[in-house]
Amino acid sequence: MLQLGTKVVIVADQYEQNLPVGEYGYIIAYDRNADNVFDYVLRVPSANRNFLIPDEDVELEEVLIKDEVDRIEREALIDYALATHNEALFKRIMNGGEPEPEQDSAAKEPLSPADFIRQVNLKAWI
């Protein structure tokens, strides 16, 4: 639940109310009616109107700014990795920062049919 007076951005128009998506607004009241799907009353100064808004249609300004900064930082690191031909950095960024799993040398070697059947039987027995 967001606090009263919080500056938020309208990010969606779930119930097609002709909301000004992308505009700033301020939470001026909670809608406590249990039979209603709306959570907040939002004042949008640019539209000079109040709107009833569900919680999913608004997002804090700080969260949107943080997401945009993370996206720009990731794109800059990708550009740097491509410009310097740093394949390890590029793969780490594209995998979400997780190190690439090591592949076993046994998995690279082709198995003979007898070894393959032996491995299948062993796994089936376990």
Distances (CA, A) of 41 to 12, 34, 49, 124: 15, 15, 10, 61
116 within a domain of the structure (yes/no): no
Q: Are residues 16 and 54 in the same domain?
A: yes
Residue 10, pLDDT > 70, answer yes
Q: Are residues 11 and 24 in the same domain?
A: yes
**Host domain of residue 45:** 7-62
46 within a domain of the structure (yes/no): yes
d(CA 85, CA 91): 11
pLDDT digits (tens, 9 = 90+) for 25-77: 999 999 888 888 899 999 999 999 999 999 999 999 899 999 999 999 999 99
d(CA 63, CA 44): 19
Residue 98, pLDDT > 70, answer no
d(CA 95, CA 97): 6
Residue 123, pLDDT > 80, answer no
Distances (CA, A) of 76 to 62, 93, 100: 21, 11, 21
48 within a domain of the structure (yes/no): yes
